[in-house]
Chains A and B, each alone.
Chain A
Amino acid sequence: MHIRPILSAMRRNKVGAFLIALQMALTLAILCNSLFIIEQRLTLMARASGVDEDNVFVLTNQWVGTPDDLNARIATDLAGIRSLPGVVDAYPSNSYPLRGGGWSDGVMLADHQVHPNTHTTLYFADEHALNTLGVKLLAGRNFSPDEIGSRAENSLGHPPVVIVTKALADKMFPDGSALGKTIYVEDGPTTITGIVEKLQTPWVSNSFGEKFPENSMLEPYHYMVSGYHYVVRAQPGQLDAVMKQVQKKLLEINRARVMVKVMTYAEVRAEAYRNYRGLAIILGVVCTSLLAVTAFGIVGLTSFWVTQRRRQIGVRRALGATRRAILFYFQTENVIIAAAGAAVGVALAVGLNLWMVTSFEMLRIGPAYVLVGAVAVMLLGQLAVLWPALRAASIPPALATRAA
């Protein structure tokens, strides 16, 4: 190995090597943390909402004015929607998973408890909700039609029964005995009559929702306001056709409305995670740019070194170095610089992560990310040095005898 003479030569040309090592260290630190953040966001984006997303769409209905026959209008609309071919089921609600807005409240085990045990989303639903959303009932029963009440705007509800997600049930009753138990929500007691497998909150990409991402509660209400959402489930493969039919049908029933938004769940999901996706893309672009700049820096400096050492390379070739040996020399030199950069970069990466953990409640970075980052930076160095090193290896030995 030629490490000692390479180190010896580098000691006499410290500045360039130091700057490249520093650049690689900074690249590594930013790369590791960016990859960690991207991976975290992608994991969050990949979470299941609990909804049969392939076949469900939402329609935001806004009545013109403030009609006083809302209950009848909702009933007529639902009957019309459910009668359409290709429609599995439908229900009206104040919100739906991933929407970005909705109702929440504290949940308590005792009346007038100072601090709630946890928080939950409040989804208004009827006996068609579970079938429409496609959520699995793990225990208990669905609402019955006679349990569905009307909920006026800005009013407190006192639902006699509620259906909760398993996450909320386990949070309130870790021993698994939630079914049939009384809990306190909206300042009143209610009984858990059913437990469903999963239903995410509307707030999946902000710090508020992340505190209770799957704590959801279905309350047996129709929401009596002029603006609310119809959630509709179509037969598999008929989503697009059903979306058009439903809009047409609703206008046939009553034209005094605005269908503010009609979105497939794929669109709902894309909208919900737009910030995360944007962040991942920006960080990806930053990482790619940083890697490119670092690679160009290595190519540039190594090319300069090759040009500067042309005669020296010719002499080495004359003294018996093969082309492979010259290539290996520059690769080894780069490995040494990259290893130094990686060592400093690992420390910087951990330091940067610790700062973000303290300042932004980020998670601690795993050693795998730092390791992958270090390997990536070293491979980048080898890749970047290849072209100038090959150029160096092509320098003919006869250069040694040419006049300086």
Chain B
Amino acid sequence: MLKMSHLAKVYRTEVVETYALRDLSLNVREGEFVAVTGPSGSGKTTFLNVTGLLETPSSGQYLLDGEDVSQLGDDARSRIRNEKIGFIFQAFNLIPDLNVFDNIDVPLRYRRMAGSERKKRIGEALERVGLSARARHYPAELSGGQQQRVAIARALAGSPRLLLADEPTGNLDTQMARGVMELLEGIHRDGATIVMVTHDPELAVRAQRNVHIIDGQVVDLSEEPRFHGVHPAHAQTAA
């Protein structure tokens, strides 16, 4: 599903080169739930940006779904982000001027999907996160947990191959965070591939596999999968 080989990301100024990622190699199988942990400044966000095609790596190879996406142009990366990747951000990143329905509609419109199909998908996604009754509400009228659920619905509506979650519970209280995590686990049980960046060890242990990054390098890989439930795809992968 996701194969990174010797990836590096260097930020250059006139006087200094800073390696945010260094010789990073990582495989994520389809249906896996991987937690990426590490201290502040370790390169987690850069890893997320490169994984989500928000930035291009300086060197190395990145195969997503079998396609080399390492050095694609801006338009091609936009298309792949739109069609294959669902983002869940720490700050929810809902558009405050749009209601819940229109927020979920944003990536679908960029896919030029027919109106009826978009409406169907939005309805299903809202139902999945339990917010069908809030479709006409604006983000400011929702709690933090509800906003994150809307963000998850927005990520799910496009049926992405990969879900990227950036500290998905970082802005939530314990109870809301638990609800969001349960939701992510449920989505994983349904077959989604999830890569979650977090600095919270309690969240990390709920993933199948932990990847630890320090100074832009993967230093520890736990290859022991932990499943959240029985799913035919997982069973096949595990076998």
Residues in chain A within 8 A of chain B (CB atoms): 2, 4-5, 8-9, 12-13, 311-312, 315-325, 396-398, 400-404
Contacts and interface: CB of A to CB of B under 8 A. Distances in A.
A401 B89 CA distance: 7
Contacts of B32: none
Contacts of B97: 8-9, 12-13
Contact of B93 (A4, A311, A323, A324): A311
Contacts of B55: 396, 398
A312 B92 CA distance: 11
Contact of A319 (B49, B75, B81, B96): B81
Contacts, number: 85
A312 B95 contact: yes
Interface residues on B, range: 20 to 34
A2 B111 CA distance: 12
A401 B93 CA distance: 9
Nearest to B53: A397
21 contacts: A8-B97, A8-B102, A12-B97, A311-B93, A312-B96, A315-B93, A315-B95, A316-B106, A319-B106, A319-B110, A319-B154, A320-B82, A320-B110, A322-B74, A322-B75, A324-B75, A398-B54, A401-B166, A402-B45, A403-B90, A404-B91
Given A396-B54, A400-B54, A401-B89, A321 B95 contact: no
Contact of B111 (A4, A320, A398, A404): A320
Contacts of A398: 49, 54-55
* The 10 residue pairs across chains A and B that have the minimum distance between CB atoms: A320-B82, A9-B97, A319-B107, A398-B54, A320-B110, A315-B93, A397-B54, A322-B78, A12-B97, A404-B91
Nearest to A402: B45
A357 to B, nearest CB: 44
Contacts of A312: 95-96
B79 A320 contact: yes
A320 B78 contact: yes
Given A319-B81, A320-B81, A325 B110 contact: yes
A177 B193 CA distance: 99
Contacts of A404: 91
Contacts of A2: 109
A9 B54 contact: no
A317 B77 CA distance: 10
B37 to A, nearest CB: 16
A13 B138 CA distance: 14
Contact of A5 (B45, B79, B109): B109
Interface in B78-117: 78-79, 81-83, 87, 89-91, 93, 95-99, 102, 105-107, 109-111
B89 A5 contact: no
Nearest to B99: A8
B56 to A, nearest CB: 10
A306 to B, nearest CB: 14
Contacts of B21: none
A177 B124 CA distance: 89
